[in-house]
Amino acid sequence: MEYLTAAQTAEKWNISRRRVSKLCSEGRIEGAKLMGNVWFIPEDAKKPEDKRKKQIMNRNE
């Protein structure tokens, strides 16, 4: 299995390296491994859904 660093994954997913590190530390990226102070993420890992976004409810319901 090939791995990418947090910086490479951040570029691939168009988010910050810090955000990728946070997702890894929260256990939201399956297969991510911390070696020393560098996160390694499987290159085929899926980008987790952003739970920070608010869901808009239909007011007519």
Residue-level pLDDT at 27 = 95
Average pLDDT of the residues of the chain: 90
The pTM (predicted TM-score) of the whole model is 0.79
The token pair that represents 37 in the structure block: 């102070």
Residue-level pLDDT at 32 = 97
Comparing C-alpha atoms, which of 47, 20, 48, 16 is closest to residue 34? 20
Residue-level pLDDT at 9 = 97
pLDDT tens for each residue of 29-57: 999 999 999 999 999 999 998 877 666 66
Q: What is the CA radius of gyration of the chain?
A: 14
